[in-house]
Structure 1
Amino acid sequence: MFIDYYNTYTPEIYNLQDIIEKLDAEETSNSICSLSKDKLIQLTNEKKDGWIYSTKEKAFYEVVPGGRGGAMPPMEIPLPDEWVINEDSVEVTTTIQGTSEPHRRFVLKRNNKNYKGGTYKTRFYVDSTEFVKL
């Protein structure tokens, strides 16, 4: 599923090994749940954060102290009749919930990517994104 995620949200084509290299993930043949905190830290090169790929579970795990992300206002996706349909792409501009203020523009293209290992290939992928300036 992570392979599909990368191929949905990036314009490039990624296979499993490409993603492992891009994330600089440490590989383990163990189940992540069976590893101690010290072993997890050791796997992430003593940085106390990073990515681990479990070949046993065929899954990626991110080690991040304190969590990830930040607060942002909820976004709304407009109805399809408000999307801009081009010859080879679709443009969707999100707004901040409760306002008509444009926030971010996504350019989607048909997902004809040929990659191995995915389980839920999406119909479209995100070719580009940009914040909309008023």
Structure 2
Amino acid sequence: MIVVIASMILFCMFMSLRALFYPSRWKIHYVSFHHFFFLGMCYVTIMIGFGLLFTLLELEGIPILVENGHPVSGDFFDHVFTTMYFSGITLFSVGYGDVTPVGIGRGIALIESWLGYTIPAAFVVKSFMNYDK
């Protein structure tokens, strides 16, 4: 079951990112409200997707995050809040250090931070590139 849920989460994130790298249907390629809304939705999808992956792995007993030197504890909502918080600060490359990844979580966090770093560049290219030529 964990594989099915993780696959659906990864598929949604992939489809969100895919739109950044394919030509759009709109002929105007300048920065607009539509582009900023699209960028925001892309960030939200990635943040929630990685947060859900972290939550799923934590609930399966795989240690992913350590909060202030101790494993994340509490009920389901505490796990969700902590993983979403960690996902957000990792995606935006803030990294306060109060919640840190361990084990396989380090690799997942590395992928998320790389995406957070490259999404703005893809957004700029998509906003100003003219695919009609």
TM range, smaller chain: under 0.3
The TM-score with structure 1 as length reference comes to 0.20
| Rg comparison, structure with higher value | 1
More strand by share: 1
State the structure with bigger RCO (CA 8 A, min sep 6), 1 or 2: 2
More helix by share: 2
